[in-house]
Amino acid sequence: MMLLEAVRERLGPESVVLGSPVTGLDHDADLLVGADGIRSSVRQALFPGEGEPVPGGDVLWRGTTYAKPFLTGGSMLMIGDSTQKLVIYPVAPPGDDGTQLINWAVQHRARVEGVPTGDWNQPVEVERVLPHVRGWHCDELDVQALIEGAEQVFQYPLVDRDPLPRWSAERVTLMGDAAHPMYPTGSNGGTQAVIDARVLAYALAHGLGLEFYEEQRRPVTNNIVPANRKDGPEVILRLACERAPGGFADVEQVLPLAEREEIALRYKQLAGFEPATLNARRSWTVHP
């Protein structure tokens, strides 16, 4: 919504037109950009035989709850293993009442009946989630109370699409989930879409065209998609569970800090946000 408001503020309230589906690629504009999500009509027109999104077998339930801050008030928790996990992090600072808005997501690695493939906006009752966290214990946070306190819960399957050999044809290209839908592992879906937009704007402003845009973006995202299927940086949860199935008192004995840092660094390098790399490359800012 913040991005939508910014677009309307900068380009005018009529710049966003709703209820106008894409029916083909014929156009009279300088460029048609398909930024229309995992079920992109533009992508379907470019690759008509691709078919449905690829299901991974996991179901995700997500909600937000106003609750008291935990740990530092800006901490992120990842709890679980390769079959089920819970990710929790705040999305707003504490308010006057001492609570803050906390986002949570429960991921369950099993097929659940009644979950439409590719529909990310299916509201469900919170009772559907609770059995999957019953008995979970965390010293810093009452997990069950957090989920019970959600005003609304959404359910969707983890789906993506296989990487494409190209994104562009003549004056048409793709970006974001239309180009590279990926699992939310590593929290990279929205990030990569924003980078797409920056690089495309840079390419157009400097007369470099769609070929430059694809050279910079497609190899990176084509690597992230399969990496996220393998749990990305969250592979540390699976490793800890495999090495200490009965639990542990000292994480250093199970998964030393140096190994954890190496796993995190590899993913940062893969996704393009490792600090040294960022500081060494050109800026994608388009100066007026």
Q: With 0-12 CB in 10 A as exposed, 13-18 as middle and 19+ as buried, what is 9?
A: exposed
Decide: helix, strand or coil at residue 63: strand
pLDDT, average across residues 178-184: 93
Inform me whether the pLDDT recorded for 113 exceeds 70: no
Contact 284, 197 (CB under 8 A): no
For the chain, what is the mean pLDDT?
A: 90
Can you read off the two tokens belonging to residue 117? Answer: 């493939």
Gap between the Cα atoms of 203 and 205, Å rounded:
6
Going by pLDDT thresholds of 50, 70 and 90, the confidence category of residue 114 is low
Strand 77-80, strand 84-90: pairing: antiparallel
Average of pLDDT values for 13-26? Answer: 89
- Calpha distance 90→70 (Å, rounded): 9
> Using 50, 70 and 90 to split pLDDT, how confident is the model at 81?
confident
26-55 per-position pLDDT tens digit: 888 999 999 999 999 999 999 999 988 888
Q: What is the pTM of this model?
A: 0.85
Question: Could you give the CA distance from residue 27 to residue 34 in angstroms, rounded to a whole number?
Answer: 12
φ, ψ of residue 62 in degrees (nearest 5): -135, 140
Averaged over 272-281, what is the pLDDT?
88
| Length in residues, the chain | 288
pLDDT digit string, tens, across residues 190-199: 899 999 999 9
Pair 40, 34: CB distance under 8 Å: yes
Tokens of 65: 């709850």
> Tokens 């939508």 correspond to what residue?
4
